[in-house]
Each structure stands twice: as C-alpha cells, then as structure tokens.
Amino acid sequence: MLQRISRGVLVVAGALAAPFALADLEQRINQQAEQLQAQVIAWRRDIHQHPELSNREFRTSKLVAEHLEGLGLKVRRGVAHTGVVALLEGARPGPVVALRADMDALPVVEKTGLPFASKATGEYEGKTVGVMHACGHDTHVAILMGAAQVLTGMREELPGTVKFVFQPAEEGAPKGETGGASMMIAEGVLENPKVDAIFGLHIGQHSLAGAASYREKGFMASAQRFDVHVQGRQSHGARPWAGIDPVVVASEIVGALQTIVSRQIDITQSPAVVTVGSFQAGVRNNIVPETATLSGTIRTFDPDVRLAIHKKIRRIATNIGEAHGATVEVEIDPGVPVTYNDPRLTAQMLPTLKRVYGANNVYHSGRVTGAEDFSFYQEQVPGFFFFIGGRPPGIPPEDAVSNHSPYFDIDEAALLPGVRVMSQLAIDYLSAE
C-alpha cells in the first residue's frame, strides 16, 4: 500500500522509499531539453518567419495545438479567440500549476536581415503593416512547446497537474475587440481544474543568454493607452486664420503632456512615464485638416499616481483645445495592472532559478516600465514572472537592442535554459511540501 507523507516521498508497507528523487528528475529534464534543443530552435524560427498580430494567431495556435495533441494531452482550442490550453495530469494527485507563453507579434517591419526574417504583412487599425516578432514571443512559444514535451515524458512521476497556457493578444487586442489574459480568465483558463500558481517568462537583450532576473512584489508597470482626438475646422493652408488648426493644438498638447512627469509627479516616490507614440493628421501639405489624433501610453506603479495622471491628461488636453476654440476628447482604456510577483512564491521558486542559471547569473532587478498582461493572472492566483537574457554575443550592453525594435533579435542559446527552467519550476512547485 502506498501512502504519501510529503510530495515526492512515499511510504511503502511502512518503509520509506523515494521512487523519484528530484535530483534524478532534474537530470532527466536537462537531458531531454538538450535532445529537444534543435527542434525548439526550429519551432522558434518557423514562428518568427510567420508572425501574426493580436487575435489573429491562427497559424501559430494550429502549430501549438497539433504539437500538444500529438503528445496525448487534453487540448482546448479557440480560447479567447485563438488561445490554446492543454492539460497534463500526473500519475498522482497534487496541486495544479500553469505555465504561460504569449503568441502575438507586433506591427513592425523587420530589419534584422536574418535568413528567417519575417516578410509578413497584416492589418492594424485600418492600415497594412509589416508584422514581426519584435518582442520575443516566438521564443516564449517555442520554449513552452519544449517544456510541454519534457514534462509529458515525466507524467508517471508528476504529483499533480500542469496546465499549458498559450495566450493570444498580450500586446493588446485591436481597438473594439476583447482578448488577452483577461479574456482567457473570463473563459475559465484558471479553472477546471483550479490553478494554484502560474509562471511566465520574458526574453530580452538586457543580459546575455544564460542569465535571469526577477523582482518580488511590483515588477513591471501598469499600462494604459490614451487617445486624444482634436476637432478643428478645415481651411486652405494659405488662409489658416479661416479655420482652427488641430495640428497646432495637438502639438501644444504633446509638449504640455511632457510636463506631467517632469514637473507634476514626485518621481522620487513612484516612477511614471507618459509617452506619445502616434500623431496623425492631414492628407495634403496645403490643407489645414479638420482633425488630429494622438495616441500614447501611461506607465505607473502606484494606483493613486495613475489616477492623478489620467486627470492631468484630460485637464491639459481639454484646456488647450478650449484656448484655441477646438474640441478635444480624451479616451483612456483600463489597461493592465502592475505585474506583481507574490513574495512567498518568489522566495519559494528563486532556488529553482538559481539552480538552472547558476546563482551568479541570477539578478535582482529594478522596476521595469514595460508592462505585461500576465498581471491579470496574478490578480487571481499567486504568480511568478521573470526575465531571461537573450543578447547575442558580441553586442555590448550599451548597444543592446530594445524589444519592439525592428532590429530585435535573440541568441538562440537562451532557448535551452528556457525549456529547462519552465520544466523545473513546474516539477519543483508540484513536489514541494
């Protein structure tokens, strides 16, 4: 008769036995990950060459689902439009851990010159745009596909359940659509069975392959999109006094918005960012247009600061518009909350990170003003989100290419430890007392 006295240790007819030692499982994870390395790289390159925008990840999700079904897992397709969720039930009962990867690409024209560079195009906000995996989500998907295969090979040793979550639209659903983590949650991704903890990672050039970084509590910023619509009065460019120039109004708004962080927020207490990323107006050089539109992003770590910035954007924009006789409307979406790493879970899983990457290669990070909708999962269950390095060798830190750049690329040596760490986090969490 078998009786569990702690996860990973069984009593057999009154004698203590360990049918699976964690050290043995770790060795198996390493061996299987190494055997899969070439396949994981091939998946990454295929996904990179065929990127898809948010809520349009049809090819990617098909590739993922067919792989997971081929492993014999229980697979749900079409979650939150194109999401894929697979369930690996271990041989013995235990907790449920979720591993998440995001699948979507960005409206960016790739300029890396890679042999597998994207030449894809798509439609974004009514325009035909280039599409590129400029944020590394291709690597996230390939890593989790590899981890799913590694862990499936350990089904008999698993004391619990692993849920693989391949999520669309992390970069944000197109305007007028729903999607991403919040929609995955609404469609039950954390239920049936109920998830006890969730893990996710993100690659970047902040460090070389073979390094990782983390932060407990508030790690990445909350983010909201804002749109400012300026309604002027069209006129001939030779007679601007006959109209109300929305370009001038919008330009003043752009300048004034920069004073919010530089002059109106105590950034010694809480970092904040207000960035205008899009300015659209007019179709011809000698016509004062009727409208102009600004779009931008707000990044904060404190909810009171976030609300204060929202008020300041509305006040500045509408008052400048009124001063010129223009009408201004401001839209600010709900966005995503702060990516908050549960302190207890972070402390519990930090040894795993250090075992995989080496203690000298794991760094405590400062706050990151990037944002992640992984934060929605963390509002529901304890979550641990961390960064892995992927800067190609030969590139000094000061020349590191930012995510979302058309030149963004990663060192594929980062994929192997990525597979190892996602697999090991699952094993260690399920096997903990």
Q: Which residues are catalytic?
A: 104, 170
Q: Do residues 132 and 118 make contact, with C-beta atoms less than 8 angstroms apart? A: yes
User: Which uninterrupted H or E stretch holds 113?
Assistant: none
Q: Closest by alpha carbon to 237, among 201, 269, 284, 169? A: 284
* Rounded distance between C-alpha atoms, residue 354 and residue 362, angstroms: 6
User: Which uninterrupted H or E stretch holds 162?
Assistant: strand 159-167
Strands (E), 354-429: 362-364, 383-391
Q: Cα torsion for 238, 239, 241, 243, to the nearest 10°?
A: -100
Burial 43-60 (b: 16+ CB within 10 A, else e): bbbebbbbbbbbbbbeeb
The residue with tokens 């400012």 is 228
Residue type, position 300, single letter: T
Q: Cα torsion for 405, 411, 415, 417, to the nearest 10°?
A: -120
| Beta strands 272-281; 291-300: pairing state | antiparallel
Q: Closest by alpha carbon to 55, among 175, 168, 188, 133? A: 168
% helix / strand / coil in the chain, to the nearest 5? Answer: 35, 30, 35
* Rounded distance between C-alpha atoms, residue 275 and residue 225, angstroms: 10
Q: What angle do CA 267, 271, 277 make, to 5 degrees?
A: 115
User: Which uninterrupted H or E stretch holds 322?
Assistant: helix 303-324
Q: Closest by alpha carbon to 111, among 130, 124, 139, 125? A: 130
